[in-house]
Structure 1
Amino acid sequence: MLKKGVYIITGLMASGKSTIAQMLAEQFDQGVHVRGDIFRKMIVTGGIDMAPESPQAAVEQLRLRYHIAAKVADMYYKSGFAVVLQDVYLGKEVYSFLDLFEAKPLYFITLNPKIDVLLKREKKRSKTGYIIWEVEALENIMKNENPRIGLWIDSSDLTPEETLNDIIKRAESEARLV
């Protein structure tokens, strides 16, 4: 049984974040799916995407995006909704991002399929995620710099339904941070 809270779904591009976040949000009587990347897309001019050698301005825009996403999630939660927030949350920014939330409980779930599976999924998608970054470089950041907190799921051999069921079974005991 899922408890109302803020569920954060992260992982690399093509890991299944959007699909799983939508399915998870649908499990609640009052569920919201917040796509964190929308806040990047709202920038019409002057946006700076993160890159391997990003200028400080790109990092500041990333932090702004994370801050807005956390505040939106908190606002929905305070209004009675279970919130599922999804985006790519990587590296040293994860802890400062998690500190932004007022809502409790807070769950952190990392979708972590193998690289070859990510590349196969990427080829099937209508959008292209790996333009600036190579998948191996991002995976290196996720595996070596992301905090080992919450629930990590290797969804390589799982269907979306199986991944969702795994989250439902393990969220309270493994994904809950506070």
Structure 2
Amino acid sequence: MTLEKGIYIVTGIMASGKSTIAQMLSEQFEKGVHVRGDIFRKMIVKGNIDMTPGYSQSAVEQLVLRYKMTAKVAEMYYKAGFSVVVQDTYLGKEVASFLEAFESKPVYFITLNPNVEAIIEREKKRNKSGYTTWEVEPLYKVLINENPRIGLWVDSSDMTPEETISEIIKRVKSEARII
């Protein structure tokens, strides 16, 4: 099955496989781009405010700025003829405003949702540590309790990256299209 040109958004909590899956998904297209939304946070040299469990309004404002920049870059690539795979942690009530920033259609929203045990195991094997201010379970609860139940949700707990991509390709057209 081939994927149609569009903007594909891959989200999930840290260590859910977003980077790996987004890269593999972007490679499925003749003209594919992988936009890592977190790059805009990393560009802040001084004054970055992370989203911590006790986040401030300033942290939310920086997060919204990051989301807006990600959407603009994705739109520019899409209008230039690319299929775009956007990847970042999109959680809670800010998901709706992020999705509203997209003018181009279609947009597909994919949530990677492996269980807590799989996240903990994956985090141990990574060459970076995502869980410095958050613990896995509280962040997982934010995903489960606060994210809108839209698009395609994939429990990739027992899947390889290849199996996850296969599952996404099989289900994306019927379940992930939101706009």
Q: TM-score, normalised by structure 2?
A: 0.99
How far did 1:52 drift? 1.0
User: What secondary structure does 1:7 align onto?
Assistant: strand
Matching residue of 1:87: 88
How far apart, in 2, do the equivalents of 1:14 and 1:26 lie?
20
Unmatched runs of 5 consecutive residues or more in structure 1: none
How far did 1:103 drift? 1.4
Query: What number of residue pairs does the alignment pair up?
Result: 178
Q: TM-score, normalised by structure 1?
A: 0.99
Matching residue of 1:35: 36
Matching residue of 1:151: 152
How far apart, in 1, do the equivalents of 2:56 and 2:19 lie?
28
Percent identical across equivalent pairs? 69
Deviations 1:14-49 (A, max 9, x none): 100000000000000000000000000000000000
User: What secondary structure does 1:126 align onto?
Assistant: coil
Matching residue of 2:18: 17
Deviations 1:113-134 (A, max 9, x none): 0101100000110100011011
Matched AA of 1:59 = V
Matched AA of 1:39 = F
How far did 1:90 drift? 0.1
Matching residue of 1:162: 163
- RMSD, aligned CA: 0.5
Matching residue of 1:141: 142
Instruction: Extract structure 1 runs of 4+ deviating beyond 3 A.
Output: none
Unmatched runs of 5 consecutive residues or more in structure 2: none
How far apart, in 1, do the equivalents of 2:134 and 2:81 lie?
38
Matching residue of 1:98: 99
How far apart, in 1, do the equivalents of 2:41 and 2:166 lie?
30
How far apart, in 1, do the equivalents of 2:107 and 2:35 lie?
15
